[in-house]
Structure 1
Amino acid sequence: MYAGGDSSGWSVYNSYYYEKWSEDRQFCVGDTLFFEYNKHINDVREVSNELDFESCTPTSTVALDNTGHDLVRLTRPGVHDFVNLKTGLSHAGIKLRITVQPSTENVTLPDAPKKLSPIDYLNRWWLRFFRPHH
């Protein structure tokens, strides 16, 4: 679990702060973000397009959280944009863009070809050419 903005929470009026915060972390599907803030002043909205993120307009809200102690589970890879639109604080810099990588859990890799011992190799060669024929 990642605390959005660490101990400063979701209240720093400087978008560079959240940009730097997200650069230092690697997010994967299944991770959780925790946003803590004053619910009377702030909220957390995930928006689905870059224009809404840059302009701080709520036309593409994916999810809205406003309890002041919000857990957001990252369920899909790709870019996720979070803004604070309550009282226009996104313009003041309370917004976060993260890139979520696919999950590394439950990934099954193909078995590597096994190297045959000399005896196994000879047995396979022998059976290929000298099979009994009925």
Structure 2
Amino acid sequence: METSRPTLLLLIVIFAAAPVAVSAEKFVVGDKQRWAPNVNYTAWSDSHRFHVGDWLVFYYEKGMYDVMEVNATAYEACAADDPIVNWSRGDSFAYQLNRTGLYYFICSRGYCYGGMKLSILAEPLPPLAPSPRPQDDSAAVPSAPRRFSAWIATVSGAVALALVLWFT
């Protein structure tokens, strides 16, 4: 199989750009308590950092609760008249954060007034930083963050693919 150098370069660039897709994290809203009444969603969201590309997964009791994405005004008033997204079928809903900024979610079935609402801030992906160097020779080498590890795996795969294509 004959592969041109420009084609190889294009493949390497495509694989090197892939870390954005593999670096997304999945957050189960409310953790073990899921999307239900009597959960402090403010404390839950404050304990996590959300980035563009991450997923929020809402698990809830079918027929009892729902999920609506609303604007800030509707969030404060628990108003479900004009939702951006309305999900009331099934027992789960996965939502990908596709932009930076604030997102607002409520349950429209009266539970919002009791606190069943969530606001989160999606930040841009942080730049990849090199791992910190150990202070002395006896210090253990710190492990790389997950996002950096995914990037290394992707680049390694791209290099391996380039070598295979180059020598075949």
Query: Partner letter of residue 26 of structure 1?
Result: R
Q: Which has the higher helix share?
A: 2
Match for residue 98 of structure 2 among 75, 78, 98: 75
Partner of 2:146: none
Residue 44 (structure 2) aligns with: 21
SS in 1 for 2:43: helix
- Judging by fraction of residues, say which structure has more strand: 1
What is the TM-score when the length of structure 2 is the normalising length? Answer: 0.57
Q: 1:4 aligns with which of 19, 29, 36?
A: 29
Unaligned runs of 5+ in 1: 107-134
CA contact (8 A) 2:37 2:111 kept: no
| 1:54 corresponds to | 76
CA RMSD of aligned residues (A): 1.6
Query: Contact conserved, 1:47 with 1:60, CA < 8 A, in 2?
Result: yes
1:9-40 CA distance string (max 9 Å, x none): 000325xx100000010000100011001121
Which TM-score applies when normalising by structure 1? Answer: 0.71
Regions of 4+ moved over 2 Å: 103-106
CA contact (8 A) 1:29 1:102 kept: yes
Percent of pairs with identical residues: 29
- Trace 1:28-39 onto structure 2 (pairs within 5 A): 28-39=51-62
Structure showing greater Rg: 1
